[in-house]
Structure 1
Amino acid sequence: MPIISVQMLEGRPKEKVAELIHNVTNTVSETLGADKETIRVIVTEIPKTHWGKAGVPMGK
């Protein structure tokens, strides 16, 4: 059972997150020949205050 974890900054509409899950599932299924029912996608949205770039939180 493939398990795919995606981490990204928070703030995208729930429809876009659903589209991402759908597209990742399709891509993994086609690439690995895995049944879509066996594929799990976990999306973790991280607050901008908890994500740093160049030593500075993105939420500043």
Structure 2
Amino acid sequence: MPYVNIKVTREGVTREQKARLIAGVTDLLVDVLDKDPATTVVVIDEVEIENWGIAGVQTDIYRARKKSEAQG
């Protein structure tokens, strides 16, 4: 029984997008590994942005730095 855990930041991922992720991951496991979709579990966890870090800082800070660098 495959178990896939997808983690995303909580930034407005819609119900429809989540449904597409679940269906897409399930289809991928069927296509690549010949897994039974009836026993494939996909869980999506939404993480608050302040609880997600990149390069040693919280995501919002990281993005602000990247935006500042891009603006020169």
Alignment coverage as a number of residue pairs? 60
Distance 1:56 1:40 in 2: 32
Q: Which structure has the larger Rg?
A: 2
Distance 2:28 2:7 in 1: 17
Higher relative contact order (CA 8 A, sep 6+): 1
Q: TM-score when scaled to structure 2?
A: 0.74
Q: What is the CA deviation profile of residues 12-56 of structure 1, one whole-angstrom value per residue up to 9, with x for unaligned ones?
A: 112101110110000011111111101000111111010012222
Aligned AA (2:2): P
Distance 1:32 1:38 in 2: 13
More helix by share: 2
1:5 match: secondary structure = strand
Indicate whether 1:10 and 2:22 are aligned: no
Q: TM-score when scaled to structure 1?
A: 0.86
RMSD: 1.2
Distance 1:26 1:54 in 2: 33
* Aligned structure 1 segments of 4 or more residues deviating by more than 6 angstroms: none
Structure 1: tracts of 5 or more residues without a match: none
1:43 match: secondary structure = strand
More strand by share: 1
